[in-house]
Amino acid sequence: MASISLQLVSILVQNRSFSSSLSMKPCLRNGYSILGLRRENKRSCGLNVVYACSTSSPYFGRFGGQSKEGSFSSFGVSPRSRASSVQKQKSGGSSEGGDSSKNLSGMLPFIVAATAVAALVNPATFSWVSQELYAPALGGIMLSIGIQMSLSDFALAAKRPVPLSVGLIAQYMMKPLLGLLIARSFAMPGIFYAGFVLMACVSGAQLCSYATFLSKGDVAVSILVNSSTTILSTVVTPILTGLLIGSVVPVDPIAMSKSILQVVFIPIALGLVLNTYAKPVVSILRPAMPFVAMFCTSLCIGSPLAINRSHILSPAGLHLVLPVVMFHTVAFIMGYWASKIPFLRQPEPVCRTISLCAGMQSSTLAGLLATQFLGSTHAVPAACSVVTMAIMGLCIASFWGNGYRFSDIPQLLFPQPTSAVEA
């Protein structure tokens, strides 16, 4: 194994993209004998550290270099955990507020699942949440989003029009048609049909920004796409809903637009103004907002599930699970490959970002609109969607974040025996 390490170092030294100023030093990390090589990349002027490890046990897996500062190509150690620890050492630790927000975001799938179970097992837990409380709860979620935004986020729209265009096409052209197609293909009952299509017409979920972070995607693009789709939902969602289900269920686009304006646009605008002109106030509010958003999300999920428990547990309600799962699965795939179209082709991090933005819906908004304009039973698809998209989205993000690609799925499902590397 030691000879393999030396050969790897020799290959790196001979690579013309590196400068001749190389320094090597042996070290010991986690019980492995590691040869550290520091290199300077002329193209990106970045500084990387590459580890070639000689271990006492055979190594199975892939390896490769990365060009970002602070990244590691490692053999026998975890690149992700190692890079994270180095970054923490450089920065002296992250802020408590950021850690709190990230930890709560990571807990969201479990909280969503617990909320769903509690609402179905003991409906009284959430049945007290009336329609009058639903709108303020969603407004609290949107306010927590607004205070995280700044005017510079919107400046990205002019600088990165292609990713924004792909995201908007996936969100407001492909997904509404996908929702309509699935609803008709499964001959969805009338008590769920309009709510399912409405769920496909709303903006993307803000949770996808955290999922993008986990997947090593482009977080800036995620913020850009989600902010744009959320603000545009004030106009686009009522129009799409009227066009797609207006012949089935009467829809008042003007009233729906006013409702979205009240519970989405105004709280986000208020948060943006506070973050721009009242930063001391935001510094006080920001640590508490993740908890507020989590509490409000639980109310928005639990209420329709508890109120419509009998419909959900009926045969028609149980048949709703497959269409919801299929919708989100196809949306994730569709968003990814839409970014691979030749004339719109984007880098891999952006493709992952668009995929997550496309697959994760603002189903809490769909639930509110369904309750207000279509009837409480039409909020059931949205409640099921929240549970599904949160679990699926963060699982996919973790899959990508651990270094896997879609092409690795057959090998993971059907692993083939690999011979050990001989020293």
Same domain, 205 and 228: yes
Same domain, 216 and 125: yes
Quick one: 306 and 373 in the same domain?
yes
Residue that is last in its domain, among 63, 91, 119: 91
- Within a domain: residue 80? yes
Q: Is residue 421 part of a domain?
A: no
Q: What is the pLDDT of residues 40-53, one digit of tens each?
A: 343 444 434 433 33
125 occurs within a structural domain? yes
206/313 same-domain check: yes
The answer as to whether 260 is a domain residue is yes
What number of CA atoms fall less than 13 Å from residue 16's CA on the CB side?
Answer: 0
Q: 197 and 268: one domain?
A: yes
Residue 205 lies in a domain: yes
**Predicted TM-score (pTM) of this structure:** 0.65
With a CB cutoff of 8 Å and minimum separation 6, the contacts of 233 are: 202, 203, 260, 264, 362, 365
Whether the Cβ atoms of residue 237 and residue 204 lie closer than 8 Å to each other = no
pLDDT digits (tens, 9 = 90+) for 82-114: 344 334 434 444 344 455 555 665 676 788 788
> Has residue 417 been placed in a domain?
no
Longest dimension (CA), the chain: 74
Domain-ending residue, one of 91, 119, 150: 91
CATH classification at residue 361:
1.20.1530.20
Mean pLDDT of 65-77: 33
- pLDDT of 54 reads 35
Query: What's the number of domains the chain is made of?
Result: 2
The Cα 423–Cα 230 span in angstroms is 56
Per-residue pLDDT tens over the stretch 6-24: 444 344 444 444 444 444 4
| The three-state (H, E, C) secondary structure of the chain, written as one string | CHHHHHHHHHHHHHCCCECCCCEEEEEEECCEEEEEEEEEECCCCCEEEEEEEECCCCCCCCCCCCCCCCCEECCCCCHHHHHHHHHHHHHCCCCHHHHHHHHHHHHHHHHHHHHHHHHHHCHHHCCCCCHHHHHHHHHHHHHHHHCCCCHHHHHHHHHCHHHHHHHHHHHHHHHHHHHHHHHHHCCCCHHHHHHHHHHCCCCECCHHHHHHHHCCCCHHHHHHHHHHHHHHHHHHHHHHHHHHHCCCCCCCHHHHHHHHHHHHHHHHHHHHHHHHHCHHHHHHHHHHHHHHHHHHHHHHHHHHHHHCHHHHCCHHHHCCHHHHHHHHHHHHHHHHHHCCCHHHCCCHHHHHHHHHHHHCECHHHHHHHHHHHCCHHHHHHHHHHHHHHHHHHHHHHHHHHCCCCHHHHHHHHCCCCCCCCCC
For residue 320, pLDDT beyond 70: yes
- Residue 177: band (very low, low, confident or very high) from pLDDT cuts 50, 70, 90: very high
Quick check: is 150 in a domain? yes
d(CA 217, CA 353): 5
Residues 304 and 205 in one domain: yes
- Residues 78 and 101 grouped into a single domain: no
Average pLDDT over residues 123-132: 81
Torsion of CA 121, 296, 101, 103, to 10 degrees: 0
Domain holding 78, by residue range, is: 2-91
Q: What is the pLDDT of residues 184-227, one digit of tens each?
A: 999 888 888 989 999 999 988 877 877 887 788 887 788 788 88
142 and 81 co-located in one domain: no
User: Which range (74-78, 223-227, 339-343, 406-410) has the least confidence?
Assistant: 74-78
User: Is the same domain home to 118 and 178?
Assistant: yes
Domain boundary among 74, 91, 108: 91
* 335 in a structural domain: yes
Residues 84 and 120 in one domain: no
Instruction: Compute the distance between CA of residue 221 and CA of residue 350 in angstroms, rounded to an integer.
Output: 7
Q: Are residues 325 and 351 in the same domain?
A: yes
**With 80 as the cut, is the pLDDT of residue 32 above it?**
no
Q: Are residues 80 and 229 in the same domain?
A: no
